[in-house]
Amino acid sequence: MTQTELKLSVADQLRYPDGFWPWLRDNPHIWQAFRVKAIRMALLGRKRYSARTIIETIRWDTDLKDSETTFKINDHYTPGLARLFMHDYGHKWPGFFNLRDSQGMDE
């Protein structure tokens, strides 16, 4: 269980895509890269940004480093990453990602 997962109520945990928490435990490097890129954009003064764009840049960066490895991430987890970022950093950058109520629809 992640530190953030421990802090969230059961109701809040259910707002994340199915399978997100086990996937996150297995892929902390994806969360780290996502978080770094989102913070960089926020520090550049962007008020809003796209979580999907960040995931695509992680794919791009991975392909540049190792053309033999295919970066795989289920697109259904992108909303969970955006939601997690807003949980951890929304107080500092409110509205940076637009979170929608239905799973799989965050950006």
Residue 69 has pLDDT above 70, yes or no: no
The alpha carbon of 87 is separated from its chain's Cα centroid by a whole number of angstroms, namely: 11
What's the rounded mean pLDDT across residues 4-8? 65
> How many CB atoms are located within 10 Å of the residue 9 CB?
8
- Among 38, 45, 44, 40, smallest CA distance to 83 is for 38
pLDDT per position as a tens digit, 76-98: 899 999 999 999 999 999 999 99
pLDDT per position as a tens digit, 20-41: 988 898 889 899 999 999 999 9
Q: Count of H helices and E strands in the chain?
A: 6, 0
The whole-number pLDDT of residue 34 equals 97
Domain limits, the chain: 9-89
> How far is Cα 79 from Cα 24, in angstroms, rounded to an integer?
12
